[in-house]
Amino acid sequence: MSTGERLSLTAQSLVADVLARGSEIALLFLDWRTECVGCSLVRFCTLEDVSRYYGLDLDDMLNQIQERMETNGSHASSSRGT
């Protein structure tokens, strides 16, 4: 993703795409006590799947991820090339 590109976040967003936004996003999944970070199935799971499996509120998850992405901007994507 380019610096100006914004991830469209929905219940159907793949966990792998969300986690690719940076370590700060991964920390959320760890805080929620999920096993998503490091799991080989993240390429197939959606945020809705995670919410249902772990009993997390989907709207709260989406809001927290969105806030973390806005707070961190595109730091993760701009630091990959260095």
Question: Domain segments of the chain: what residues?
Answer: 15-72
What pTM value is reported for the model? 0.77
pLDDT band of residue 1 (cuts 50, 70, 90) is: very low
pLDDT in tens, 25-38: 999 999 999 999 99
56: closest CA among 69, 45, 41? 45
Predicted local distance difference test score (pLDDT) of residue 8: 83
CA–CA separation, 40 vs 31, rounded Å? 19
Average pLDDT over residues 13-26: 95
